[in-house]
Structure 1
Amino acid sequence: MREEEQYYLVRADILPDSMLKTVEAKKLLESGEVETVQEAVERVGLSRSAYYKYKDGIFPFNAMMKEKIVTVSLHLEHRAGVLSRVLGYVAERGGNILTIHQTIPLQGLATVAMSVDTATLTVDMTAFLEGMQRLDGVKKALIVGQG
């Protein structure tokens, strides 16, 4: 069994240089300024091993606040326009659908799982989910993951 992850908010000026350089290398890669990890680590003066050690565990604080991704599971009636209504609902409330997967309908119901970036939602998460649940053709809507 995996131990529960713990997070700490730490001032940048007390972080080891290797962690700060990892953040800089990630920024270079994300911006497209460099194409490979090797180029990024050379540019910031960091070893590849240090980059790989820290890359999945350190993020700028503002990036953590912006990334509010939820996975929503829906049971939808197999009728024309139901999924379209759901997608419109999400867009009208400022959500951005990142991924979507729909199963083949069985006994008149299809299961849809979608990842939604909620950073710019115009309603709170409870109202968002309750409103989705009230859409014609939506039998069930619930959050199954958050990241």
Structure 2
Amino acid sequence: MRERRQFYVVDKKVLPEVFLKVVEAKNLLEKDKTLTVQEVAERMGISRSSFYKYKDAILPFYEKGKGEALTMLIHLQDERGRLSDVLNCIADAGANILTINQMVPMNGIAIINLCLQTFNMKSEIEDLISQLEELEGVQEIKILARE
């Protein structure tokens, strides 16, 4: 039986320095695809083995500075392509989908729960909601949370 992973939110001030260096190394590798792990490890003053040991165990936590998180429920006609239209509208607006959950459709209506990150949006949230409401098949949109 697989052991269930547990996660903790910890202030970075109490983390060992190697963890912070691994996070920075991951950021450098993401920004500059020409760098190797060896080059980044040397630059950060850590060993390659430390990088590989911790790289998959240290995950970023969503930061409020990265834009608002918007959670909404969309009541959508259960017809082919309707969800795709909604997702394309969100992508075109520059929002990033953090989570999506669709309930089993009942009486021809699917209820979609979406959480969006708005950091890179090209327009205001209200404009996106108006665009979504105009899509064929969208019955109702309820905003559950704005964080």
| Aligned-partner residue type, residue 131 of structure 1 | Q
Q: Equivalents in 2 of 1:132, 1:24: separation in Å?
A: 46
The 8 Å contact of residues 129 and 142 in structure 1, kept in 2 or not, is answered as no
Cα distance in 2 for partners of 1:69, 1:24 equals: 30
Partner amino acid, structure 1, of 2:54: E
> C-alpha displacement at 1:144, in angstroms?
0.6
Aligned residues: 108
> Does the residue aligned with 1:86 lie in a helix, a strand or coil?
helix
Q: TM-score, normalised by structure 1?
A: 0.61
Which residue of structure 1 aligns with residue 132 of structure 2?
Answer: 132
Q: Does 1:35 align with 2:27?
A: no
Distance 2:139 2:70 in 1: 19
Q: Distance in 1 between matches of 2:16 and 2:138?
A: 44
Of all paired residues, the percent bearing the same amino acid is 25
Cα root mean square deviation, aligned = 3.1
SS in 1 for 2:136: coil
**Matching residue's letter, 1:95:** A
CA, structure 1 residues 21+135, in 2 after alignment: closer, same or farther (shift >3 Å)?
same
Please list the CA deviations of residues 45-103 of structure 1 after superposition, one character each: whole Å capped at 9, or x if unmatched: xxxxxxxxxxx9xx9xxx43214211111000010000000000000010111111001
Q: Which runs of 5+ in 2 are unaligned?
A: 1-10, 27-50
The equivalent residue for 1:14 is: none
Equivalent residue number for residue 89 of structure 1: 89
Partner in structure 1 of residue 104 of structure 2: 104
TM-score by length of 2: 0.61
